[in-house]
Chain A
Amino acid sequence: MKHRFVRPLLNIVVRLALAVAVAAVVLTGACLLLKGNIEEVMAAFFLGPLEDEYAVAEILREAVPLIFTGIAVSLMVRCGQFNMFVEGAFFGGAFLAGVLAPMLGEHAVITPLLTILAGAAAMGILGYIPAKMKSSLGVNEFVSSLMLNYIVFWVVMYLIHGIAADPDYPNATPYLEDTMRLPLLNEDTELSSNLVIALAIAVCSGLFLFKTKWGYALRITGDNPSFADYSGISSDRYVTASQVIGASLAGMGGAAFLLGNYYRFQWSSLPNYGFDGFVITSIAGNNPYAVPAAALFLGYLRVGALQVSRLGDIPNEVIYVIQAIIIILFGAHFFFHARRKGGAGNA
C-alpha cells in the first residue's frame, strides 16, 4: 500500500515545488528584461488566480481540456507512442460537436451525449491512420500525426467557410441552444459539467491502465516491445490501439469542451491543447489518476499568467517558457516510463 500511494504523492509534491520555483525564476527574468515590478507581478501570478470564485472557476475551466488531452497523451506515451494527433483530434472533435449538435436538435442530455460520442468515434477513426502507419509500416508517428493535424485543420477551415456556415456568422457553426449544450454546474460562475466528464474519464483511464489485462499489455508494450512480443502480447496491436484510444479521447474532449464552454464553434487556429497534453503528462508522471491534479496546477499557472499580462508589462506568452522548462526538468529528474528507441526522424 505504501508504494502505491505514498511515493506517488511525495513525487508529485516534489514536482509541483520544482514547477513553482521554475515559474518564479522565469517571471523574475521576464521582469528584469521587460522592466516589470517584481513584487506586483509575483502577487498577480501566485495570488491572482485565487482572489475570488470567478478566478477559481476560471482555473477549473482551463483544466478541463487539459485533463482530456493530458489523459490521451499519457495513454499513448505509456505505450511508447509520441503521437501529435491529439491536437488535431481535439480541434476536429470540437468542430464536429458544433455541427452535429444543432443537427440533432434540442433534446436535453441526449443531444450533447450523442454528439460527444460521435466526436470520439470520428476522431478515433482518423487517429487510426497514423496508428496503422506506425504499427504496420513503421512510419514514424510524430511526423505523420503532425501532417494529419494540418490536414484536419485546413479541411475544417474549408467546411466552416463553405458548408457549415450560419448566414449571420460567416465563419462559425450554428448557435447552440442551452439544451444542446452540457448543463452548467454553477449558473453564476458558468462552470460546466464537462468537468465531471473529464474526471470520470480520468478515473476510467486509470482503471483501464492499471486494472485490466489490456492496460497491462499496453504498458508492457511501451516498456519493451520485444519482450511483449516474446510473451505473446501482440505489440503492434497495442501500438495501434493506444493511439486510436488517445485520438478518440481527445476528440471527445474537444466536443465536451465546446458543448460546455462555447455557444458556437469559431476557432480559426489550432488551440495547442494537444501539445499541452505533453506538459500535463510529464507533470503527472504519465499516471492518469494524477492528470486532473496536474491540469488544475497548469490551469492555475495559466490564470496567473493572464493576471500578470493584465498588469501590462509581461505578455501572456511567458507561460510557454515556464511550461517548456517544466517539461525538460521533469523529464530529466524522473524518467519517463516509456522511452523511445532510436531517432525520431528515422521513419
Chain B
Amino acid sequence: MLDWVLSESFLMNVIAYAIPIIFAACASLISNKAGISAINIEGAMSVAAVAGALMSHFSGSWIVGLAFAMTAGVLMMMLLALAALWLRADSFLSGIALNTFASGICLLIVKGVLNGRTDSSTAPSVMVPQVRFPLLSDVPVVGKAIFSQNLLFYIMLAVLAFLVVLLNCTKLGVQIKTAGYHPEASESVGVSVKRTRVIALVICGVMAGLGGAYLSMANLGYFSAGMVSGRGFMGIAAEAMGAGAPIKAGLFALLFGAVDYFAVGGQTVLSFPYELLNTLPYLMTLITLIIYATAQKRKKG
C-alpha cells in the first residue's frame, strides 16, 4: 500500500481528483467573501460540464467549449443573483432550487440533443490539451505531476494567484470584502452592494464553469449525468475550513481530492470493502469540520 501511495501515478491522480474541488472552493470563496452563499456551485458545474462537452464536440474546438462552459457557469450564478438579489428570495434556498434545476436541465439538454441518451459518450468532447514543460517534467516523482499536466491545472494555479491578488491588492477586492463583512459601510461610501455581489458571482460562475469543464473535457471525454457527484459541495466544505484564505482553501481541497482518490484507487489495491472506502471523503470532511470548529471555539475562549 505504501508503494502505491508514494508512486508517481498516485500523485497524478490526487491532483486530477483535486482540480474540480479546488475550482469549486475558489468559486465558493469569492461568493462568500461578497456575503452571498452560492450553494448552487454543484449545479453550475454540472451545467458547465454539459455546455463544455457538447459545444466542444459540435464546434470542434476546445476553446469554444471552454468559453461556453464558463458562460454556462456565469449564467447559473446570474440566476442565483436574480433570485437572491432582485427577487430577494433566500440565497440558500434558491441555491438548493438551482441545483435541482441544474440536474433537470442537464438531462433535458443531453436527451434533447442526443436523442434520449443520459451521457454524451456518443458525442465525445474535444479535450483541453496537456501542457508539457521539457526538462522540468523529467524531474523524478513531482516532475510529471507539476510540469506535465492538463492546461486546466495551470489555469487553476492562475485562478488561485488571481484570487490572492484580487482580494489583497485591488480596489475591487476591498469592495467585495466590504460587501461581505459590512454591507452598510459599503453603501455609505456609495458602492452598491448589489453591484459588487453580482461581480463576485460572475467570477464565481467562471470558476465553477472551469471546474465543470475539467470534468467533461479533461478528466473524462464526455458528460454523464451525476458526474459532479458532490464535488461542488466538497469544495464548499473545503472553503469553509480554509476560512476565507484562498491558499488554505486550496490545500484543504487538495486533501479532499487525495482522500477521494484514495477511496476510488484503493478499491483495487486494498482488500477493504469499497462501500466503506467511499465514506472516507465525507467522514473526513465531518471530522475536520469538528476539529476545526473546536479549535476556533477554544481560540475565542
Contacts and interface: CB of A to CB of B under 8 A. Distances in A.
Contacts of A336: 90, 93
B241 to A, nearest CB: 7
Nearest to B108: A317
A154 B104 contact: no
Given A147-B286, A162-B273, A345 B293 contact: no
Given A144-B289, A320-B101, A343-B180, A150 B279 contact: yes
A235 to B, nearest CB: 17
A148 B32 CA distance: 23
A82 B37 CA distance: 13
Interface residues of A, number: 51
Contacts of B32: 343, 345-346
Given A155-B276, A328-B97, A133 B90 contact: no
Interface string B243-286: 01000000000000000000000000000010110110111011
B14 interface: no
B107 interface: yes
A324 B281 CA distance: 28
Interface stretch (B61-69, B185-193, B231-239): B231-239
Contacts of B100: 275, 279, 320, 323-324, 327
B90 A317 contact: no
A210 B108 CA distance: 42
A143 B241 CA distance: 11
A347 B37 CA distance: 12
A317 B240 contact: no
Interface stretch (B49-57, B81-89, B131-139, B153-161): B81-89
Given A143-B285, A331-B83, A278 B93 contact: yes
Interface residues of B, number: 58
Interface stretch (A134-142, A185-193, A256-264): A134-142
A339 interface: yes
A319 interface: yes
A187 B171 CA distance: 70
Contacts of A317: 103-104, 107-108, 111
Given A143-B237, A315-B116, A347-B289, A324 B101 contact: yes
Given A82-B92, A321-B108, A328 B240 contact: no
B97 A323 contact: yes
B158 to A, nearest CB: 23
Contacts of B180: 343
A318 interface: yes
Contacts of B112: 33-34
A92 to B, nearest CB: 13
Contact of B90 (A151, A340, A342): A340
Contacts of B35: 342-343
Given A137-B290, A328-B83, A343-B36, A158 B101 contact: no
Contacts of A138: 293, 296-297
Nearest to B39: A344
Q: Which 6 A-B pairs have the closest CB atoms?
A: A320-B104, A324-B101, A331-B89, A332-B87, A158-B275, A344-B37
Interface of A: 30, 33-34, 82, 129, 133, 137-140, 142-144, 146-148, 150-151, 154-155, 157-158, 161-162, 275, 278-279, 282, 315, 317-321, 323-325, 327-329, 331-332, 336, 339-340, 342-347
18 contacts: A133-B290, A137-B293, A138-B296, A142-B39, A147-B286, A151-B282, A151-B286, A161-B275, A275-B96, A275-B99, A324-B97, A328-B94, A332-B89, A343-B35, A344-B37, A344-B95, A345-B28, A346-B32
